[in-house]
């Protein structure tokens, strides 16, 4: 496993936050965090405008700084990554702490030295069905918000595994 590969999974949690798998409290175990990453700037293959800066925190979490299209550092996201069995393959469950103190979740895989990641969208019927089948509760509180709320670790990990089996993964990131 290459150290930069997990970094790509971290940024995915910081992107595309609407319609997420969410929880009011952290459902991943911080004691199971994986953090063998070097600090640095990571760039998406084929699109140098999509990049982020990764910094390991003393507590085992990561700070992920977004870059805006002009190259200026924008928002910082606090992210935790743990290993997970996703759709029968070894992958990563990712939790990002939100501004309101809750958490959103994503998945990542390493294939051929590259990381692919995806964030579930509860506005999508397949992602919503995965969530509901595993104990998630749809939370459609606004026209643009279609979150699925989870209350247990087993439920969110099961839903992430089911989601990973049909997810559409974006292009990978590499350390620049």
Band (144; pLDDT cuts 50, 70, 90): low
Pairing of strands 114-118, 137-142: unpaired
Average pLDDT, the chain: 83
- Looking at the predicted structure, is the pLDDT value of residue 155 above 60? yes
pLDDT digits (tens, 9 = 90+) for 75-100: 899 999 999 999 999 999 999 999 98
Percentage, residues of the chain above pLDDT 70:
82
Band (6; pLDDT cuts 50, 70, 90): very low
Rounded to two decimals, the pTM is 0.84
pLDDT digits (tens, 9 = 90+) for 35-83: 655 677 877 888 888 888 889 898 989 898 988 877 788 889 999 999 9
- Looking at the predicted structure, is the pLDDT value of residue 138 above 50? yes
**109 and 115 Cβ atoms separated by less than 8 Å:** yes
User: How many CB atoms sit inside 10 A of residue 136's CB?
Assistant: 27
Dihedral, 153, 19, 39, 49 alpha carbons, nearest 10: 160
DSSP lists the bridge partners of residue 18 as: none
**Start-to-end Cα distance in the chain:** 17
pLDDT of residue 30: 94
SS3 107: strand
pLDDT of residue 7: 42
């Amino acid at each position: 496993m290459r150290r930069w590969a997990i970094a790509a999974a971290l940024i995915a949690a910081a992107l595309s936050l609407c319609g997420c798998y969410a929880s009011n409290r952290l459902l991943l175990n911080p004691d199971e965090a994986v953090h063998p990453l070097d600090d640095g700037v990571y760039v998406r293959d084929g699109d140098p405008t999509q990049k982020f800066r990764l910094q390991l925190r003393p507590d085992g979490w990561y700070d992920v700084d977004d870059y805006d299209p002009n190259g200026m550092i924008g928002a910082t996201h606090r992210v935790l990554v743990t290993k997970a069995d996703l759709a029968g393959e070894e992958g990563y469950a990712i939790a990002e702490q939100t501004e309101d103190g809750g958490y959103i979740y994503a998945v990542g895989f390493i294939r051929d030295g590259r990381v692919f990641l995806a964030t579930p969208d509860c506005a999508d019927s397949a992602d919503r069905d995965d969530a509901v089948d595993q104990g998630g509760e749809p939370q459609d509180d606004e026209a643009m918000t279609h979150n699925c709320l989870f209350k247990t670790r087993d439920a969110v990990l099961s839903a992430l595994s089911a989601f990973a089996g049909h997810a559409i993964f974006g292009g990978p990131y590499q350390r620049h």
